[in-house]
Amino acid sequence: MRRPDCRGFTLLELLISITLVSVIVVILSMSVRTALRAYIKGREANRETVTVSAIRGLLGRQLRMAVRPGTSSLGKYFRFRGENDQLIFTTTHAPMGSRAGGIFLVAYQFQDRDNTLLYAQRIITEPDERKADPPGAVSPEQIKKMREDGWDVSLVPGLESVEFSYLDRDKELDLDAIDNWPSSWIKDARLPQAVGLVLRYKDENSGLEHESRLFFEIPAWKTARRRQLFGP
């Protein structure tokens, strides 16, 4: 009785098979690596876009509704003070999703110790409450105390720098000269014509620094007063 042919693979066939499998594994790993890099890069770009859009939208609405000095009963709540790395002012804009209304004291403050932008807001009901300031450097314990004192606090991480600038109302509005705008606003009797904001952040993958330049024009008194009385 004849046995069936049980001849196995030759050494050459095994080497060819191993080589083909190795090539396929390398191609697949390169494809996965490329897709993963693209995903991480897209996620990082999307995070930066969302952050810049959120700041642009919120700060823009708050500045358009900023409390003006001498505007009837609201004038006694007026406050607007700006430095290169922080801005604090009063506004009648209520954040979206908030059922609260009234006058808000809002603060934007860059924490260079941990590259974080602090945003804080609180409702004020008495004119003296507009003088409150968030602490210069914020720790988790201080954030807890701020919330106990009535502040709503949010932190925006991942920023290399935040720079505010201010344009007086007697100056020509030239966006190309925004780098030459003063870096502080300490005039207690009036609002600036416009506020500039430069956000810098670093790409975690390439290490390259990106920059977003935002510009906010504060409307004239009559337009602003109508908005405060009747809404946007």
| Residue 215 parent element (H or E) | strand 209-217
Report the pLDDT averaged over residues 163-182.
86
95 pLDDT above the threshold of 90: no
Query: What is the total residue count of the chain?
Result: 232
Report the pLDDT averaged over residues 110-135.
87
Average confidence score pLDDT of the chain: 80
Residue-range definition of the domain harbouring residue 122: 43-230
Q: 119 lies in a domain?
A: yes
Of 93 and 29, the one with more pLDDT: 93
How would you list the strands of the sheet with 116-124, edge to edge? 80-82, 86-91, 103-111, 116-124, 152-157
Q: Concatenated DSSP letters for 73-125?
A: GGGGG--EEE-SSEEEEEE-PPPTT----SEEEEEEEEETTTTEEEEEEEEE-
| pLDDT tens digits, 1-10 | 455 555 666 7
Q: 12 lies in a domain?
A: no
Note the pLDDT of residue 94.
74
Note the pLDDT of residue 197.
93
What are φ and ψ of residue 32, in 5° steps? -65, -40
Q: 94 lies in a domain?
A: yes
136 pLDDT above the threshold of 70: no
Please answer whether residues 190 and 69 qualify as being in contact, where contact means their C-beta atoms are separated by less than 8 angstroms: yes
Report the pLDDT averaged over residues 45-60.
79
Q: 84 lies in a domain?
A: yes
Please answer whether residues 60 and 195 qualify as being in contact, where contact means their C-beta atoms are separated by less than 8 angstroms: no
* Domains in the chain, number: 1
Q: How confident is the model at residue 43 (pLDDT cuts 50, 70, 90)?
A: low
Q: 185 lies in a domain?
A: yes
Note the pLDDT of residue 222.
44
Q: 25 lies in a domain?
A: no
Q: 147 lies in a domain?
A: yes
37 pLDDT above the threshold of 80: no
Note the pLDDT of residue 60.
92
Q: 38 lies in a domain?
A: no
85 pLDDT above the threshold of 70: yes
Which amino acid belongs to residue 195? V
